[in-house]
Amino acid sequence: MRRAYNSVMHLPKLNSCPQCAAPYISHRVCPACGFYKERQIVSVKAQA
């Protein structure tokens, strides 16, 4: 019983990315497009 409840509590809060609509963890950069706080933080398609 208690174990199942803990697993639920442990899940991070998900938001929908305003840029690509993919689910991303709150206060984290979107893993799909690198978008965070209305800014492009990570260059996903960056190639040196």
Written as six digits, the tokens of 23 are: 């689910």
What is the rounded end-to-end Cα distance, in angstroms, of the chain?
A: 51
Interface residue with Zn ion, options 11, 27, 30, 44 (CB under 5 A) = 30
> 4 near 10, Cβ under 8 Å?
no
Residue 29 makes contact with Zn ion by CB under 5 A: no
Residue 15 makes contact with Zn ion by CB under 5 A: no
Interface residue with Zn ion, options 2, 17, 25, 39 (CB under 5 A) = 17
> 12 near 3, Cβ under 8 Å?
no
Binding region for Zn ion (CB under 5 A):
17, 19-20, 22, 30, 32-33, 35
